[in-house]
Every structure is written in structure tokens, then in C-alpha cells.
Amino acid sequence: MKRITENTVQDFEMKHAKLIKDLAPETTLFLKQNGEFPLATAGKIAAFGKGVRHTIKGGTGSGDVHVRGFETIEESLENAGFTVTSKKWLDSFDIVLKETQDQYYADTRAAAIKAGVNPMIYAFGQTSPDPVYNFELSGEGDTAIYVLSRISGEGSDRRDEKGDIKLSDEEVRDILKLNNQYEHFMLVLNVGGMVDLRPVLEVENILLLGQLGGPTGQVLSDILLGKANPSGKLTMTWTALEDYPSTDGFGDWNDTYYKEGIYVGYRYFDTINKSVLFPFGYGLSYTDFEFKTEKTEVVNDNIKVTASVKNIGQYSGKEVLQLYVSLPSVKLNQPYQTLAAFAKTPELSPEESTEVVLTFKFSDLASFDQEKAAYILEKGDYVLRLGNSSRNTETVAILQLDKTITIRQVKNVAAVVDENFKETKYQVVNRNESFENLPIFSMSSNDINAEVIEYAKKATELVSKGFIHWNDVVSGTHSLEDFVAQFSEEELARIALGHFDEDQTDSSVLGSAAISVAGGAGETSLMFKESHGLPSLAMADGPAGIRISSSYKIINGKIKSTGVSFGDDVVALLGPDLVNEEPSPDEINATEYYQPTTAIPIGTDLAQSFNLPLIESIGNLIAEEMTIYGVHLWLAPALNIMRSPLCGRNFEYYSEDPLVSGLVAAAITKGVQSHPGCGVTLKHYAANNQETNRYTSNSVLSERTLRDIYLRGFEIVVKTANPVSIMSSYNLINGEHINNRRDLMTNVLRDEWQFKGFVMTDWLITTTIMLNPNSKYKQASAAGCVLAGNDMTMPGMQSDLDDILEALHNESHPYHLSKADLQTAALSVLSVVKQLSV
Ligand code: BGC
């Protein structure tokens, strides 16, 4: 770990800023583009909209990263040589914005104090409303942009209202006016998720810039000037909110019914052939491409499609090809098509061609048959389709399977217990497609190996061999089992919790409970450091970079954050008096250390690049910064499925599609974990698709949907990238908190997928400060976690310890524990401690 004493820009910061700036354009895309851009030179530009001066680099909450400084779009345009001619509008807007925000913070703070709740918790994830205004849209020159921005975050869902999913009256009015007023006009979306663009669809240049961390403004300047060409594709369908089947009943306080089943995103829209505004996999750049299937090859279980791509436009650029498969439906219902592979071209100059190869395993197309508790491939025709969006494809070949085969026999998990629940089944709309002249390949069941799962028995108690120091484990003279066997039940209970002091208060651990890294989210137990030499693992949030505080001091041997560890919104809500305590004389005299970090593009944007090596290289960047600051576990990637555009944390997530989610998360995991001492934490496992009442909301869904949609991405990462840890989610699945469900924590994760790391809970599952008395369901149990195979409860609280000890000593505790259960949890945690504390 390095202690940086100078608050000056470090070499690694410059290197990382450049890397992100160079890569970020690949994550952006045009929703519409008519050839009026790029601009020849950086001349006069009239820039309007909140995002010009209040540019959003990422969302709020634990996904927010503290950076040294951040250039707004206005500053970036000026640094790139533009003259911003709309200052009058920007100044007037600032005044009304500040008034509205001040009022909102004052009202919210007062309401929270009245309700006796910490204002930060009271307003978790909420954002200030936008002002009402009507300023003259004046600005010299023939070019204008309107930067529309949105922010959301942990703790609250987005709203189907003007100013959030819908555009505000002011936004619609000004955008349409500017579109008529200026010769060159571009609508720029500085957003983390879908906005309903129907009222402004006549605008012919719409850039989904996204929220790109540090270089957000610079990337926009580069795109305007043609120095960069967007090459991303949507990882979620954008269309009217009322058209998503998940909208009805979304965010119910207690029970959210996943009625649409497997029909999430394009799987739904393509099945019923409903037109959408912008389909999954869609995105335009400054240039155009032509693609053609060249060859299909089948070798046993492996399918390989080679396609040629040609740049037929006037600018250099990259294209993403996607391979979809329409599966036969005999017993199981199937969507019209499912993504099976994708590939991105290298940069192609005008007229240049290349070949790309798209591969997948036939057996990976297996679907879950709930009745048989097995993953199966049904007999029939599998139609391959190649395209550059889910709505622009050509048929490639047919794979014919002559009999239905079982790929994997498992046990049923997470049975639905709610009698009110019923899934809607959709029929594929017949398109009268003709498959004549398509190459046909016969698939033989003999070429596909069925997997046999062995379910592990519960471990028996380990017997102590006396005192063993951690050094003996590291040197190999004693096993981890021997080390664990020496601890008493109470000591083992401490290992099943994050580090905590008996005298800490609840609020002191909110999102920054680490002891060794200032502003880190948590840490494994330090309880046995002195006595047994057992090191701890420090954790820092993600996924938009590493979230630690910007500076700290060491006072009497303890680390104290001195810089930003909260977002501006929180400071405004709490008031400076609650955030900044008076420094002690020791603190005043102590040396200040700095922790500059890099804000990377939000998860959604990274995924939109469809470029796995690029994403892996960003994992490397993250690990370099983890190593500098002594962070062992990055609390990312976050790969929940974008079930609805209303989910407040979608910006942290990757896609509505599990394959994209899984492959992107696997790529960043590989990047991070290729560095010794650095590990990821996949989150939030699983079916955690809303923020409303997130601690005790119940996701009700069928096992097929759970496995084929919501677990699939996690499965891909576990099986291909060996993540060292997983964070379970707060929510319940079919009536029970997932962290208390042994079927999902142990049977699926460890037995079926062979997960070798440890599972931690999300933060503060047993504390009452987060609970709402109006909830139907109770909080989870820390003892229940141990019993289920969720090895550690975070960030570690007295209430968790009490629960575990009670469960050990009281046979009527609903999650009665044995010493062997705690030893199993300790073994999982310590195996990762051993691996990462290098
Ligand atoms: C979030 C997690 C985060 C944790 C620690 C929780 O509130 O849901 O994503 O990693 O806090 O900050």
C-alpha cells in the first residue's frame, strides 16, 4: 500500500484518465444521426440543458466514486476550443436550480428531523426536483446542443413522471424549439438509463453519451469534432414505459410478481413482434456497415459463424455483430430469439472489410425444465440469425436436434409459495418466414456430455490440534482446517461477521466500515490479527471505480477520513454540521494522505461497448488502484438484470440480457483478478431488481425464470472467471430472504456451479434502522445466513453476533446452528483471505 502525501496529480491518474478517455467513446451510441455532424471545427456552440454545467459522471449511493476534480461539459467544450455562446441561459438556469435545490434539501431535512430519522436515510436515493423556468434560448452560431441529464441511485426507484422517465415540459419545449432554430442541433443524453423520447423524436441527431466518469465532457467534444466515433449498442430495449410487461406491478412494497417470466426486454418485444423505439443491440455511429454470413461450422458441441463486415460510410468506425437463436418449443415455451454470441470488429477505415467469428456452445442454449428439475435441449430446429440489432437480422443456418436431451440434472430450488402468482405465457407471432436454402446441420446427442451434479453433505465438526498461527497456514505446515479447528464457537462467529467494535454506533458504519482503508465499505474481521496473525481483507465499493474517501489522517494509530466520503447530495441533506466534526489538536497536526481514484463509465455504458477485451483492461485499471490503496475486494461488478427501466440502480447494471451481463462481468472479473491480492464481489445475488423497500421486498418468480434469466449471468461468471466472492441481495425470493436460503446459497452456487469463494451479505441486514414498520416481511437472520452458506454478514454488527450466538445455544431458534456450520463459513472466508493477503 502506498501513502500519497502530496495532493498533486499522480502518474497513474494521468495514465488512467487517458485510458478511459480513449476507450469511452466505444460505450456511446447515436440513437439517431443524419450526417449533419461531426463539425468541421470547434467554433461557436450554444449549449443548453441542465447537463451542460451540472454534468453527471455516474449515479448516487455506493456506486458514486469520489474524484479529484471533474470537468463539466461546458468546461470540456471550452477546453476543446469551442466558444459557448449560451452563457446567459446557463447563468439564469443556475439561479433557479439552486433555489429549487435549497428548498428541497431544507424541506427534506426538516421532514426527516420531524420523523426522527437520519436525513440521509430518510431521503436515500431521492433526487431534488427540477425547477420551472422559461428563458430565452439565445446563443450565437449555427450549432446548438441540448444536454439532458438524469441521476438515480440506490434506495429509490425511478418515477414514471416528467423530469424522470418522461421529459419535463421545459425540456420538450426547449428541445423542439432549438431543433427548429439551429442549422446543426444535437440532443445529448447524459443519462444512466431510459428516458421516454417520444415527444422529441423529430430531432434527427440524438447521442446517448451516458455517464462516462472523468472524461464525460471530453468524450462529447471529441464526438462533436469527429475525433471519436461512437460504436456502442443498447443493452436494453428503449421504448414506452407502459409497453414493458414488468411495468404493471413494478416496485410493489411487499410482493413483486415477475409475471412476464422469461419474457424480459427483447425476449418479450420480439416474441409478440411489437415495434419499439430503439431495440436491443441497436446503435448508430458516424458511418455505416454491411455484413454477410460467410460460413457456419459445427464441431461437436461448438458452433462457429464467420461473417464479413464492410465499412460503407465515410468515417472510420467499429461494428458489433450479434448472433441470435430461435429455439424449438416442444414442451417449454420459448421467446422468438435469444442472444447466443456477439463480436466487435476492429476499427475499419472507409471501404475496409474484415471477418469476425461468433462462437457458442450448443449446450449453453439449454433451458430449465422445472418439472424434471433439469436443463434440457428440446428436439427440433434451432434457427441462427445474424444481425446488428435484435430487429435487423438475417437467417444463417438451422441446427437440427433429433431428440430432446438432458444437459444437467439438478434439484428444484426456490419453489413458489404464493398462490396468487401466475406467469403469462406469450406465443411467438408467426412471421411466415421461409427457411429454404438455409444450410442445415444435424446435431447429435452423443456429442453433448450430460453433467452429473453431486450435492455435498453437511460438513462434520473439525477437531482442534491446538494453537496454530496464520504463518503456519501460509508456509503450508498446517492446513486451513487445522487453523479453523482451534477456534471456539464465539470466535468462529466473529469470523462470520465483518469487523466491528462493540462500542460502535449503527450510523458510523454506513457504507464506510473499513478500518484499514479510509472510506472503504467494510472489512473482514481483525479480531485475530494480534493473537493469530490473521490478516483482514479491506473492501471498497464500485462499480464506477473504487469508492474510498479522498483523503485521511492517522490519529493515534487509527485512520480517519478527512476528505469527501459522502456525495454532495448527502452533505446538503445532513448539513455541514453533521458531516464535519471539529478536528482535535492531534488531527490538526497529523499528516494528510490523499487517495485520488479514477471514475470509470457506469456499468451500463461499459456493457454497451460490447468489447470484452476493453472491459477486461478496465478491470486491470481498477486492480492497479486497489493495489495502491490496499483494497483487496472490489464490491463490484453489479450484474442484476434490467427487468424494468424503473429500477433506480440500473445504471450500475449491464443489461436486460443474461449473456451480456455474464460475459461483461466475467471480463472485468478477469481483469481485476489477474492482479495478485485483488478480488471482485459479484452483486447482488439475485433477483434484486427494484429499490423500493429493498431490504424486505419479495421477488415472486418461477424457478425457470429465476434460473434462465436472473441466475444465468452469475452462473456464467462463476463458471468462467472464478470470482472470489459474491454479495447476496437484501430481497426475499419466493417468501424467504435469499441470504437465508440454503437451496440458492449452497445447492446452486457451490454444488451446481462449483463456486469456491465466499458469500457476504449486503449491508446491515439485521439492523432495525433500515426497516420500515409497514413491511410484510421481517429482516433476515445472521444465523440463517451461516446455515444457508452465506458465510459472512456485513458490515458486522452486535445484533448479528447476538443472533448467531442465540442460534448456537437455543435449539428452538429458527436457524439453530452447530459449530460445524460456523467452521464451514470460516473455511470459505479464510480461503479467500489466504488467496488475497499476498
Ligand atoms: C449496497 C451495496 C454496497 C454496500 C456497501 C449497500 O447499501 O446495496 O451495493 O456494496 O451498501 O456500501
DSSP 720-746: HH--SEEEEPSSEETTEEGGG-HIIII
Give the other-Cβ count within 10 Å of 681's Cβ.
27
State the distance from the centre of ligand 1 to the C-alpha of 762, rounded, in angstroms: 6
State the distance from the centre of ligand 1 to the C-alpha of 587, rounded, in angstroms: 29
Q: Which residue shows C-alpha cell 435441449?
A: 377
| Three cell numbers written together for 371 | 418439472
- Residue of 546, 762, 771 best suited for mutating to test ligand 1, as the one with most atoms within 8 Å of CB: 762
Amino acid at 344: K
State the distance from the centre of ligand 1 to the C-alpha of 763, rounded, in angstroms: 6
State the distance from the centre of ligand 1 to the C-alpha of 521, rounded, in angstroms: 8
- From the CA of 154, give the closest atom in ligand 1: 8
Beta strands in 677-787, from DSSP E residues, in sequence order: 679-685, 698-700, 725-728, 732-733, 736-737, 758-760
Confidence at residue 64, expressed as pLDDT on a 0 to 100 scale: 87
Residue identifier of the C-alpha nearest atom 8 of ligand 1:
762
Confidence at residue 508, expressed as pLDDT on a 0 to 100 scale: 46
Confidence at residue 564, expressed as pLDDT on a 0 to 100 scale: 66
The full DSSP string for 426-494 is: -PPPP-----TT--EEEE-GGGSPPEE--PPPPPPPP---S---HHHHHHTSS-HHHHHHT--HHHHHH
Q: 65-93 pLDDT, tens per residue?
A: 888 889 999 999 999 999 999 999 999 99
The partner residues of 615 in beta bridges, in order of sequence, read none
Q: 602-645 pLDDT, tens per residue?
A: 999 999 999 999 999 999 999 999 999 999 999 999 999 999 99
Q: 582-598 pLDDT, tens per residue?
A: 788 889 999 999 999 99
Contacts with 733 (C-beta within 8 Å, 6 or more apart), sequence order: 414, 686, 687, 698, 699, 701, 706, 741, 744
The partner residues of 184 in beta bridges, in order of sequence, read 143
Q: How far apart are CA 397 and CA 296, in angstroms?
A: 7
Confidence at residue 530, expressed as pLDDT on a 0 to 100 scale: 96
Residues of the chain falling short of pLDDT 70: 503-512, 564-569, 576-581, 767-771
Confidence at residue 625, expressed as pLDDT on a 0 to 100 scale: 98
Evaluate whether 146 touches 175 at the Cβ level (below 8 Å).
yes
State the distance from the centre of ligand 1 to the C-alpha of 589, rounded, in angstroms: 33
Confidence at residue 69, expressed as pLDDT on a 0 to 100 scale: 84
